[in-house]
Structure 1
Amino acid sequence: MRSQLMPDLDKESLEAMSGPVVDRRTTISLLGAAGMGGLAGCSGGGGGDSGGDGGTTSGTTQSGPKMGGRLQAGWFTGSIDTLDPPYISVGQYFQVAANIFNGLVTLTTDLTIEGDLAKDWTISDGGKKFTFDLREGVTFHNGTEFTADDVKYTINRTIENKTPAAGKLSTLEPVDQGGVVVKDDYTVELNFEKAMAPALVYLTRGPGRAATIVCKEAIEEMGREQYSITPVGTGPFEVVEHDVGSGIKLDAYEDYFDTDSEDRQLPYLDGIDINPIPEPATLVSAIRGGDVDFTNLVPLQNVSQVEQASEVEKLRAPGVNWYGLAMNQTREPFGDKEVRRGIAKVVSSEKFVQSAYFGNALAAQGPINKATRWAWREDKPDDQAYAPEEGKQILKDTGAYGASFDILTTSSSLRAAKAMRQQLNAAGFDVSIEQVTASTYWSRYQALDYDVTISGSVGDPDPDQSLWNFYRKDGSWNWTSYEDDTVHQLLAEQRRALDRDQRAKVLQKLEDRLIADVPHVYLSHRDDLAAARKRVRGFEHVPYMRNFHTVWLDE
């Protein structure tokens, strides 16, 4: 029905959304339509904020940024398995990939949408047609020129291969039937089935976004498997070495197209050496001791150690995520909703947050996080509320009391797994921990080769991003094998309800259903914490992004 859809945008609105820059006020409106209003309300402004809890590291000196030097970065993971954007389902992997690739547009720390590979754009046909004027003279790292054909190839590849990012373009017309039209080498047109005001947000560079531009020539030459390890993009850094499990060496791309406000060539750094460090204590010791300059995450149990280090700054951005105990419904006894509800009742999220993270997280009642303020509610259904005696009785009634099972985990999540095991064993279960490498973990998780694990949505400012792929019947991250017709329908409905208040009501109804069905025992919402030595300057902290093109080192 027409009343359920967004009306055609008026001329003034279309002009406000057109390029080359969309101002903060208009961007916040787009974020609200996209379901990202919480991010708009919680992010600090950009610019020279130097605080440890601020959005950026310290700004420039009078002499300006210094050129050269290599940033030593510690990555809180055992390995970085893929860097091919549409196939990335792990936020930490995209934090690396964002330095190798570009999108059509980008979102800055102060919520301004700016051109990236698109230098300008116009919106017409009532908000259904987006025409992008592309930068000329941009090359991929292999020397191939970037053109509009690469945009069409990227979008078609994303959709055709049913990648996790494909859902962002679900309302695009079929690519070869007018969805993507190459007008000339530097003009490309995207046509949607109906008005799509949030399209610009979904076309920014970021995890789970749909138009991070890849190189067709490189993919065809090296094959998808090798491209996932040593991809070719247009970004400020190129991959020169990638030994999966050991590290990644990125060098500055000499022909990168972008410059700073003083027309100095970006990036400032000569390169970045990224070292996977899965042990929390080792990671924190490395940043405190100066072995690394930057850590992409701070293990929550080690926050105080970072705060107390004299030469280290804690970097904080809003936590747009949820984490929970995922239960594999293809294995007994987790296919029974009552068993899952009984487990939820014997687990205290408050105790979990204290034990696993020393209180450095918000206990969760459901998947919608507090940063998404327009959809957040303090008063949520109590289906998963801590009630241990009631939970034990449910488990006894279902015959699941005393069951034996394993928690699958990696070293980076070991403390959380131990905290969960403690609560479950105290409730009468016989629970063990199975610790594996990061690559083995993700392989087994996706193959439903586990009993339970602690997982969730990382860095998704839009509730759609954190729910659609997890709970759709065909969701690309539905690794609990959860299926529910009502949830499936509500997920589709909330995408059509582009009025924010209406969408909030649908999302809350959806959240109620998920809390009751318990595909996950919802445990926590974490802030996005990183850390840098004070010599690291110019880092701009967009939530869950780790972009280094403006970073420089103050020796």
Structure 2
Amino acid sequence: MADLDKEPLEGKLRRSFLKQAGAGAMVGATVGLAGCVGGNGEGNGGNGNGTGNGTGDDPDVDDEDKFGGTLRVGIRQDWTTLFPMQHAREPSRVQENQVAPTLARYDADAVSLRPGAAESWEYVDDDETQLRVELKEGMEFHKGYGEATAEDLVWTINTLLDEGFGGGWTKRFMFPVPPFEGAEEVDEYTFDIITEDHYAPLQVGLLTNISVISSEAAEEMGYEEFAATPVSVGPYEVVDVDMGARAEMEKFEDGLPADEIGYAGPAYADRIEFEVVPDATSRLEMVQTGELNVATYAPYNEVDRLMEDDNVTLKMRPSWSFDWIYIGGEQGTEEYREALDDREVRRAIGTAINREAYVNNTFFGHGVPDDDPFSESLSQNLVTQDDDRDTYDFDIFPVEGDPDQAQQMLEDAGWPDMELELTHMNTSDATRGAEVLQQVLSDAGLEINLRAVDGATHSDIESEGQYDLLLSRISWLSPDPEQGFNWFENPEQSNLNSMGYHNEQVDELLNQSRTERDRAQREEIVREGFEMGLADAPWVFLGHLETPRVLANATHMDRDLFYPQAQMLDLTDVYTV
């Protein structure tokens, strides 16, 4: 086994393989998201010396030879925190997942939950308001903070509800108005999550998005230090960080094996180094010169070529992510606030957009144009899904767009001439998408000015409502429809609704869906509510992307490194030879 810290990554040293993860191959814990996945699908190829794209474990490598070395990972954007559950942006999530396991994992292949850091969970009352969770024993915290116990999870859940250390995106995207009374410790490894009423999304939503963190470390270190070097029980711990640019992790030997707490396999690499390389061309060059082993995205314009490259394994998968436009932020251009509050104006914008042109130009055809947030893959996994229906599908707007009809709708609404600003991230595919939108909306008589911003600024603009139109990307964190449904909740209850949208009928259906215990009844409520909210068009949906992943220098790969939700990355069973 070559020491990758001392020897250059040339030729034979740059082959990465994946150990078979078994029937329970890793899938989503998030979640993304929601998480917000904003930005650019980019990444890299490689030039290993294998025999071509393939699957399965390498038969010539003994198990003992898989351990050791350093994995160097290129990611595309900066980040502001590594505090689990604080931020849904992908750069944070892909790193946090190596450090902090969640209580449960969602297995998209099996369409079911499976244990992560939790051993088991069950309701202990007939009304299903008291969910008892038993933790796995022997999970040791990084940095000598002792064993994880129920006390840590009770602290995490209760502070999450109070928007303390454990708040952030989990509170914002998953449970903006949770009917929780709180968490209570039962014994050293057991705790109860107590709700005011039955809460249908609780298991699939909460258990897959609550990470195990040390309450003692979080309180002792304070937010800033903990956000840089979080303390959890995962297979790797952060040992050095330049926030937003670079993070170094070392394998943690004192806890339970990674495959016993929800990961795909044992942690092979001794060290993982994450580095931000925002430029796609530079990342490609770094892979080709051996400076990177793994990169998280391939550029869409390179996908077809990389698919034919025998020296790279490129995984394409339908993700749970989609692109959408926020319409009429509460702090947007004052002159047009009234117009963008008008349902017919928003519907005109939705009618004008040619989603086929958007997908073809933004993702070079590697996506599916759609006017709702439900990809086929997500629909098949939704917990409310009726077995007799293939997908959740809502035909609200013409996929190919109709600018003439849209222009007439704007004239009928009394707003035929508007000059609006479209904000987007400064990544290559977001820029391409924004230019398509600028063109198709101009065909409907709208003058669109483009504003490109970095990821952190984009997130602030979204949350503060400082936009006329905002192009964004998000991924489902959970296959429970609650996450997407609660986007439409009135702004006094939902932090994601930064345009001030409010429909009392949608709110009522949302509240009904949260407490309905009959699956078929709940599905009907969800479908009715979504159709109503989508027709109101506070957001306009554009399409679902296929996500190109590259395991650099790889010639064998038997699973995708990513979960379908929120672009979660699992590097535990990756090894170099």
Where 2:344 maps in the other structure, the secondary structure is: helix
Q: Structure 2, unaligned stretches of length 5 or more? A: 1-22, 28-49
Distance 2:95 2:292 in 1: 16
Where 2:213 maps in the other structure, the secondary structure is: coil
Distance 2:216 2:463 in 1: 30
Distance 1:87 1:381 in 2: 34
Identity rate of aligned residues, in percent? 23
| Aligned position for 1:44 | none
Distance 2:266 2:398 in 1: 52
Once the two structures are superposed, the pairs formed by residues 268-283 of structure 1 within 5 Å of their partners are 268-283=268-283
Shift of the 290–466 alpha-carbon distance from structure 1 to 2, 3 Å rule, reads farther
Q: Which amino acid aligns with 1:156?
A: N
Shift of the 282–394 alpha-carbon distance from structure 1 to 2, 3 Å rule, reads farther
Deviation, 1:360, is: 0.9
Deviation, 1:85, is: 2.4
| Aligned position for 1:174 | 181
Shift of the 500–530 alpha-carbon distance from structure 1 to 2, 3 Å rule, reads farther
| Aligned position for 2:153 | 151
1:409 and 2:424 aligned: yes
Deviation, 1:152, is: 0.3
| Aligned position for 2:239 | 240
Deviation, 1:324, is: 1.2
Shift of the 529–510 alpha-carbon distance from structure 1 to 2, 3 Å rule, reads farther
Shift of the 226–335 alpha-carbon distance from structure 1 to 2, 3 Å rule, reads farther
Is residue 163–residue 476 contact of structure 1 (8 Å, CA) maintained in 2? Answer: no
Q: Which amino acid aligns with 2:234?
A: G
| Aligned position for 1:11 | none
Deviation, 1:199, is: 3.9
| Aligned position for 1:134 | 135
Distance 1:434 1:378 in 2: 32
1:213-266 CA-partner distances (Å, limit 9, x unpaired): 2222222223223322332221111112232332222221232321559xx994
Shift of the 407–85 alpha-carbon distance from structure 1 to 2, 3 Å rule, reads same
Distance 2:329 2:467 in 1: 10
Is residue 235–residue 258 contact of structure 2 (8 Å, CA) maintained in 1? Answer: no
| Aligned position for 1:221 | 220
Is residue 424–residue 472 contact of structure 2 (8 Å, CA) maintained in 1? Answer: no
Match among 428, 432, 457 for residue 445 of structure 2? 428
1:266-293 CA-partner distances (Å, limit 9, x unpaired): 4211122212233344445544564422
Shift of the 260–182 alpha-carbon distance from structure 1 to 2, 3 Å rule, reads closer
Distance 1:122 1:222 in 2: 34
Is residue 103–residue 116 contact of structure 1 (8 Å, CA) maintained in 2? Answer: yes
| Aligned position for 2:456 | 439
Shift of the 408–287 alpha-carbon distance from structure 1 to 2, 3 Å rule, reads farther
Distance 2:53 2:513 in 1: 34
Where 1:183 maps in the other structure, the secondary structure is: strand
Distance 2:526 2:51 in 1: 35
| Aligned position for 1:59 | 57
Deviation, 1:419, is: 1.9
| Aligned position for 2:85 | 86
1:84-130 CA-partner distances (Å, limit 9, x unpaired): 22322324422221111122233346436443323345543335444
| Aligned position for 1:7 | none
| Aligned position for 2:481 | 463
Where 2:376 maps in the other structure, the secondary structure is: coil
Q: Which amino acid aligns with 1:366?
A: D
Shift of the 257–506 alpha-carbon distance from structure 1 to 2, 3 Å rule, reads same
| Aligned position for 1:353 | 359
1:192-212 CA-partner distances (Å, limit 9, x unpaired): 44556764433444xxx2x21
Is residue 83–residue 97 contact of structure 1 (8 Å, CA) maintained in 2? Answer: yes
Where 1:241 maps in the other structure, the secondary structure is: strand
Q: Which amino acid aligns with 1:487?
A: V
| Aligned position for 1:165 | 170
| Aligned position for 2:12 | none
Once the two structures are superposed, the pairs formed by residues 179-218 of structure 1 within 5 Å of their partners are 180-194=183-197, 199-205=202-208, 209=209, 211-218=210-217
| Aligned position for 2:96 | 97
Distance 2:558 2:142 in 1: 24
Q: Which amino acid aligns with 1:455?
A: S
Is residue 324–residue 473 contact of structure 2 (8 Å, CA) maintained in 1? Answer: yes
- Give me the CA root mean square deviation: 3.4
Distance 1:195 1:85 in 2: 27
Is residue 342–residue 392 contact of structure 1 (8 Å, CA) maintained in 2? Answer: yes
1:527 and 2:550 aligned: no
1:507-555 CA-partner distances (Å, limit 9, x unpaired): 2222222232111221001234322121676765431354435323232
| Aligned position for 2:572 | 550
| Aligned position for 1:496 | 515
Deviation, 1:411, is: 2.5
Deviation, 1:391, is: 0.7
Distance 1:498 1:528 in 2: 34
Distance 1:147 1:317 in 2: 37
Where 1:153 maps in the other structure, the secondary structure is: helix
Is residue 69–residue 271 contact of structure 2 (8 Å, CA) maintained in 1? Answer: yes
Deviation, 1:437, is: 1.8
Deviation, 1:378, is: 4.6
Deviation, 1:334, is: 1.9
1:334 and 2:337 aligned: no
Of stretches 457-466 and 386-395 in structure 1, the one that deviates more from structure 2 is: 457-466
Distance 1:195 1:506 in 2: 16
Deviation, 1:156, is: 0.5
Is residue 198–residue 517 contact of structure 2 (8 Å, CA) maintained in 1? Answer: no
Q: Which amino acid aligns with 1:542?
A: Y
Shift of the 458–350 alpha-carbon distance from structure 1 to 2, 3 Å rule, reads same
1:471-503 CA-partner distances (Å, limit 9, x unpaired): 443223223332222222222222233433323
Q: Which amino acid aligns with 1:482?
A: Y
Distance 2:500 2:286 in 1: 39
Q: Which amino acid aligns with 2:92?
A: Y
Distance 1:422 1:279 in 2: 26
Q: Structure 1, unaligned stretches of length 5 or more? A: 1-22, 28-49
1:383-432 CA-partner distances (Å, limit 9, x unpaired): 88722111112223444334222222222222211222222233333222
Distance 1:370 1:293 in 2: 32
Where 1:87 maps in the other structure, the secondary structure is: coil
Where 1:137 maps in the other structure, the secondary structure is: coil
Where 1:182 maps in the other structure, the secondary structure is: strand
Is residue 171–residue 194 contact of structure 1 (8 Å, CA) maintained in 2? Answer: no
Q: TM-score, normalised by structure 1?
A: 0.80
Deviation, 1:60, is: 5.1
Q: Which amino acid aligns with 1:407?
A: L
Deviation, 1:63, is: 1.4
Of stretches 466-475 and 66-75 in structure 1, the one that deviates more from structure 2 is: 466-475
Distance 2:305 2:426 in 1: 19
Q: Which has the higher contact order (CA 8 A, sep 6+)?
A: 2
